Amino acid sequence: AGPPGFVALDTATVLDYCAGKASIADALGGASTRKEWSAKEVGDGNINFVYIVTGSGGNAVIVKQGLPYVRCVGEAWPLTQERVRYEAEALQTAHGYCPAHVPVVYEYDAPMSVIAMRYLEPPHIILRGGIISGTIYANLASHVGEYLATTLFGSSALKVGCEAQRRARAAFGQNEAMCALTEQVIFTEPYAKAENNHWTSPQLDDAAKALRSDNELKVAICALKNKFASDAAALLHGDLHTGSIMCTMDTTFVIDHEFAFYGPMGFDVGAFVANLLLAYFAQDGYDGDRAKQREWLLSCVKETWGVFASRFRELWNEEGISSDTSGLAPGSLFSAAAGAEGDVDAALRAHQDKFIDDVWKDTLGFAGAKMTRRIVGIAHVADLDSIGDADARARCETNALRCARRMILEAGSLSVDDVCAMAKELRGGA
């Protein structure tokens, strides 16, 4: 299977493959050092194969290959390799907007469905693991806030104009196969009887059943699905959970853009917020005193949003006032220098306030949807799954589900402070 020219790599053949690609071979110390190279497969993801290829002098490169099916299921769940093109383009685009927080791509090989990119060397680890082990990442919120602001603003019609954005959307494509997965596992199955669903049973049986007959929630989740399906505001990561972020105490990188598509900004912001809150609710299932990390997780929610909002506004002020009629904030309406009349500063502020507030409302709804699906849907998170005691885990999950429901239903009225206060209260106030 696979397209013409496709061959599935392994730890042996990947070395020859790298030697044959100048951009990769150079990063490994040159093809002439080929004999010193070695590879190991480290894909802990569910979908693809990821090789660390180590060259001479300790240089290393990541070679990620997508197969024509879902790795953890096998050929029984085919998946189009088009996703690798989406991932490569989104990675490269995001790196352009935010080089500090996105690995550089050395090579994208379409027929082989391969992306070669910078190896994020130790001590980089997957953020989810770091959080589970109790680490506090003091720079995380500002880095992720910066990533979100630069990528979402950069690909928006605010920055590029409506007409150019339509062209960019047409050129990028729809990534409909990966979006269909999201539509299935996030916006549908958790609220239905579905073979894929599972949960801590019997403790959560009633909660899961309640989801399936919660009319208010069903309506709200369908509205979110509709927004996901039809709002093409910015080029999203599409799967920005804490397993798609690698970090050290000082650095933060976003990887794994294979779900990228033009969608609603709040979907990316919400994914990150959801995973912080899941980590927060999981804490009661762990041994030891994690009060400090718990506080940090909530402050990280607040700070991520704060950094995102202020950086987004800053970019807008600097690069979002268009000189033509194609922008979402044309100078002819908002810049006195361009002839706009009235109190243009107040007008611009009000425009920005409303725009950013709408992103926040979407953020809340999408975050709630993501939290819910991680507890009753197909794919859970290690934060909760690593809690061995089922009763303890169920208590954490119940709190998270309650928080999620209110985030979805009260998205129109909750501030970020409200959400953090509510999360605290739901887990008992401590």
Ligand X SMILES: Nc1ncnc2c1ncn2[C@@H]1O[C@H](COP(=O)(O)OP(=O)(O)O)[C@@H](O)[C@H]1O
The residue ranges that bind ligand X (CB under 6 A) are: 42-48, 50, 62, 64, 103, 117-120, 126, 246, 255-256, 258
SS (H, E, C) 172-185: HCCCHHHHHHHHHH
User: What dihedral do alpha carbons 40, 44, 47, 51 form, nearest 10°?
Assistant: -20
Q: For ligand X, which is the closer residue by CB, 60 or 401?
A: 60
Residue 49 contacts residue 41 (beta carbons within 8 Å): yes
Dig out the tokens for 384 from the structure. 């909760």
Tell me the CB-side half-sphere exposure of residue 135, using CA atoms within 13 A. 18
Judged by beta carbon distances under 5 to 8 A according to partner kind, the member of Mg ion, ligand X, its own copies, none in contact with residue 380 is Mg ion
Closest alpha carbon to 379 in 371, 389, 388: 371
If one asks whether residue 258 binds Mg ion (CB under 5 A), the answer comes out as: yes
Length of the chain in terms of residues written? 430
Q: Are 128 and 121 in contact (CB under 8 A)?
A: no
- Of 212, 302, 361, 380, the one binding its own copies (CB under 8 A) is 212
Return phi, psi of residue 41, to 5°: -95, 130
74 φ/ψ angles, rounded to the nearest 5 degrees: 100, -170
Identify which range of 19-27, 105-113, 231-239, 379-387 contacts its own copies by CB under 8 A. 231-239
Nearest to its own copies of 318, 341 (CB atom): 341
Beta bridge partners of 62: 52, 117
How many chain residues bind its own copies (CB under 8 A)? 61
Taking alpha carbons only, the member of 118, 103, 48, 94 closest to residue 268 is 94
Least Å distance, CB 376 to its own copies, is: 13
Residue 326 binds its own copies (CB under 8 A): yes
What are 111's two structure tokens? 């027929």
- Cα gap 320→156, rounded to integer Å: 9
- Given Mg ion, ligand X, its own copies, none, residue 62, with its beta carbon under 5 to 8 Å by kind, binds ligand X
- Name the segment binding Mg ion (CB under 5 A); options: 45-53, 105-113, 225-233, 414-422: 45-53
| Closest-CA residue to 65 (of 134, 129, 10) | 10
Least Å distance, CB 355 to its own copies, is: 7
> What is the rounded distance in angstroms from the CA atom of residue 224 to the CA atom of residue 170?
23
The contact pattern for its own copies, residues 353-372, with x = CB under 8 A and - = no contact, is -xx--x--------------
- Binding span for Mg ion by CB under 5 A among 37-45, 157-165, 214-222, 351-359: 37-45
**256 near Mg ion, judged by CB under 5 A:** yes
Work out what residue 232 binds among Mg ion, its own copies, ligand X, none; the CB cut-off runs from 5 to 8 Å by kind.
its own copies
Interaction of residue 176 with Mg ion, rule CB under 5 A:
no
Distances (CA, A) of 81 to 10, 177, 190, 243: 17, 10, 27, 21
Q: Which does 117 bind (CB under 5 to 8 A by kind): its own copies, ligand X, Mg ion, none?
A: ligand X
Q: Does 188 bind its own copies (CB under 8 A)?
A: yes
Q: How far is the CB of 53 from Mg ion (least distance, A)?
A: 19
Give whichever of 344 and 381 is closer to ligand X, judged by the CB atom: 381
> Judged by CB under 8 A, which of 70, 340, 356, 426 binds its own copies?
340
3-state secondary structure of 27: helix
In angstroms, the Cα distances linking 411 to 332, 341, 403 are 33, 35, 11
- The answer to the question of residue 71 lying near Mg ion (CB under 5 A) is no
Q: One symbol per residue from 361 to 400: x for binding Mg ion (CB under 5 A), - otherwise; what is it?
A: -------------------x----x---------------
Residue 7 interacting partner from its own copies, ligand X, Mg ion, none (CB closer than 5 to 8 Å by kind): none
* Residue given tokens 């602001």 in the structure block: 149
Residue numbers at the binding site for its own copies (CB under 8 A): 157, 162-163, 165-167, 169-170, 173-177, 179-180, 183-184, 188-189, 191-194, 209, 212-216, 218-219, 222-223, 225-226, 228-233, 325-326, 328-330, 332-334, 339-343, 346-347, 350-351, 354-355, 358
